[in-house]
């Protein structure tokens, strides 16, 4: 998605608007939020927002695209510090769950509010999300080459399954008022579940190996 805005800069102002949008969307919900509230929190005039974003949908999608891009860059750097594929998988899973605490407002917007945007769900190609999955897929591919993961591992299905587990637990965490589990403990459990399945022989759905 092309970035909009006046010539000559405005990056800091744009970032201020995005951060304000995260706070307002997470506090009031996407549909109940107003551009004027975001503008007030960002310290800009209402009309200034339209120099950078076409409408509220565009603001929401841009928020996802840019902040998800930061998440992808960060997790790539963290994963690169790992050793073998299992170590890198643990880092990826741990980082994903830690985002629930580190970027609470952003994660709430992504997990809840973003899914209420028809434009996002039907029209937008989530490039940065696919890059995020590619980081996970790269770990799984490397694990096969290293002889750590099963040679018959279907990486496409496995990365979706791992992300699906992380996404479901994250959504449950965001929606739960009592916060029934600790993200770090959840990360450890998810890692253990998948580490076993990625390495060992598992029975088929029919019960035979």
pLDDT tens digits for range 108-126: 888 887 776 666 656 667 7
The CATH number of the structural domain formed by 62-199 is: 1.10.357.10
What pLDDT score was predicted for residue 200? 65
Asked if 66 and 52 touch (Cβ cutoff 8 Å), the reply is no
CB count within 10 Å of CB 86 equals: 19
Please state the separation of Cα 131 from the chain's center in Å. Answer: 10
**Residue 41 CA neighbour count, 13 Å, CB half:** 17
The residues spanned by each domain of the chain are 62-199
**100 has a pLDDT exceeding 70:** yes
Please tell me which residue, 46 or 5, carries the higher pLDDT value. Answer: 46
Asked if 117 and 25 touch (Cβ cutoff 8 Å), the reply is no
What pLDDT score was predicted for residue 1? 41
**61 has a pLDDT exceeding 90:** no
Please tell me which residue, 109 or 4, carries the higher pLDDT value. Answer: 109
Please state the separation of Cα 10 from the chain's center in Å. Answer: 26
Residue ranges of E strands in 40-143? none
What pLDDT score was predicted for residue 2? 41
Nearest of 198, 80, 69 to residue 130 by alpha carbon? 69
What pLDDT score was predicted for residue 158? 94
- Average pLDDT for 64-77: 92
What pLDDT score was predicted for residue 119? 61
What pLDDT score was predicted for residue 207? 44
CB count within 10 Å of CB 57 equals: 16
Q: What is the CA radius of gyration of the chain?
A: 19
Distance in angstroms (rounded) separating the CA atoms of residues 33 and 24: 6
- Average pLDDT for 124-144: 90
Nearest of 183, 161, 31 to residue 107 by alpha carbon? 183
């Amino acid at each position: 998605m092309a970035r909009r805005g006046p010539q000559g800069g405005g990056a800091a102002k744009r970032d201020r608007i995005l951060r304000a949008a995260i706070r307002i969307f997470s506090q009031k919900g996407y549909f109940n939020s107003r551009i004027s509230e975001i503008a007030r929190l960002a310290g800009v005039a209402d009309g200034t927002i339209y120099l950078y974003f076409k409408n509220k949908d565009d603001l929401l999608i841009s928020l996802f695209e840019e902040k998800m891009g930061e998440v992808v860059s960060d997790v790539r750097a963290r994963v690169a510090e790992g050793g073998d594929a299992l170590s890198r998988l643990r880092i990826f899973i741990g980082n994903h769950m830690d985002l629930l605490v580190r970027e609470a407002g952003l994660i709430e917007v992504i997990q809840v509010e973003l899914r209420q945007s028809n434009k996002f769900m039907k029209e937008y190609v989530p490039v940065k999300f696919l890059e995020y999955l590619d980081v996970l897929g790269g770990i799984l591919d490397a694990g096969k080459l290293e002889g750590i993961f099963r040679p018959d591992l279907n990486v496409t299905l496995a990365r979706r399954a791992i992300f699906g587990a992380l996404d479901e637990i994250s959504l449950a965490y965001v929606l739960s008022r009592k916060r029934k589990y600790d993200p770090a403990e959840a990360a450890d459990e998810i890692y253990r579940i998948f580490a076993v399945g990625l390495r060992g022989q598992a029975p088929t759905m029919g019960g035979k190996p």
